Amino acid sequence: MTYLRSKSVWGAVLAAGVVFAAGAPALAQGKVDLPSTIAWTAYDVGSAGYNQSVAIGKALKDAYGTDLRVLPGKNDVSRQVPLRAGKVHFSATGVGASFMAQEGVFEFGSKEWGPQENRVLLASNSEGNLSVGVAADVGIKTIADLKGKRVAWVVGAPALNENVRAILAFGGLTWDDVVKVEFGGFGPSWDGIVNGQADAAFASTTSGKAYQLEASPRGLFWPPLPHGDKEGWKRLQANAPFFAPNMGTVGAGLSAEKPHEGAAYPYPILIAYPTQDKALAYSMTRAMIEQFPKYKGAAPGINGWALDRQILKWAVPYHEGAIAYLKEAGVWKDEHQQHNDKLIERQQVLKKAWAEVTAKNISDDEAFKKAWMETRAKALQAGGFDVVYN
């Protein structure tokens, strides 16, 4: 993976008496031992992540008598705050609060945050893709064909725009090679394609907006990201290491007969801090896998939690408790452990760089951000890691 190459409603939870440090189960091979209540944060009510969490909660209740309290958060920070404070055990979050928080960038580059030592338990890797969709009437067949075309830039959505940057890099392009058209939100960016204001935008293949474009006079096409294009993937993952090759079979214009050779990343991603009890992380991971047949098909995208859909060499390291179960399941190999160790090494490089910057007591926020990003880049380069975000 390019990323690793060397140069070479919180009161309700507390009122329920949720205890996180005490009463954790002892690690026992082959046994699920969960407390009476588990709590995790998720995306807003009605989101795919929230709906999946509710379905998983029902399976846990039926099998173990454990109540799963799902606490919605409207953004990455609001989902991470309770996790960091120890008010929830886990967070079913996205790339922003898992990978970007690990990197200490965007919202997590502020003085209040910095790089977070996140750990993964499991993630949902769906059968859809995440990519740049284009209007079918402009003759775009490859990502390189986007040169000179109008591409949506969503104001205040760095994650979306960074994803576009990575996809463009696959085709040897940058934002400077396309016409940047600004929109105030994700929805308007896709409406802009339908209305003839733009030619391309980023989305999940399962997005309702993608289906709307497909049904419009302009039509929809997903340019492929051929998995055999090693150089293209090298460029893409240098910009967004959380992407992985995926054959998308679900979404607008896609099917098992008409798959999209492209990219995807996990959502939701169940994370914890490394301080979370190993036995609890083990039991949670085991329970999620053992009860998969009970919640399979219960919500859109939920089938991505299956054991055989896990990406064990991803961009954020796995929790030691999850690893213990994955070893028992026979899927965790030496190559995965080596990859995981390297990811933890990266986190330590970031942690040290952050301490170096905060020790300077820089009062001005912009000056602090500049110093952090410069120090971060130098530290990662010195350690032989890709910088990813400059």
The whole-number pLDDT of residue 157 equals: 80
- The answer to whether 37 and 66 are in contact (CB under 8 A) is yes
Output the CA torsion sign for 38, 284, 244, 8.
Answer: positive
Task: Please give the Cα distance from 115 to 273 (Å, whole number).
Answer: 12
Choose among 204, 202, 191: nearest CA to 153: 202
The whole-number pLDDT of residue 4 equals: 38
The whole-number pLDDT of residue 202 equals: 95
Choose among 162, 165, 161, 159: nearest CA to 146: 165
List, in sequence order, every residue forming a beta bridge with 72; answer none if it has no partner: 42
Rounded to two decimals, the pTM is 0.84
The whole-number pLDDT of residue 29 equals: 59
Task: Please give the Cα distance from 208 to 190 (Å, whole number).
Answer: 10
Q: Which residues of the chain have pLDDT under 70?
A: 1-29
Which residues lie below 8 Å from residue 98, measured CB to CB, with a gap of 6+? 118, 120, 242, 269, 271, 316
Task: Please give the Cα distance from 42 to 32 (Å, whole number).
Answer: 23
The whole-number pLDDT of residue 126 equals: 87
- The answer to whether 295 and 59 are in contact (CB under 8 A) is yes
The whole-number pLDDT of residue 75 equals: 85
Q: Write down all domains in the chain, each with its CATH number in brackets.
A: 2-125+267-382 (3.40.190.10), 130-263 (3.40.190.10)
The whole-number pLDDT of residue 265 equals: 94
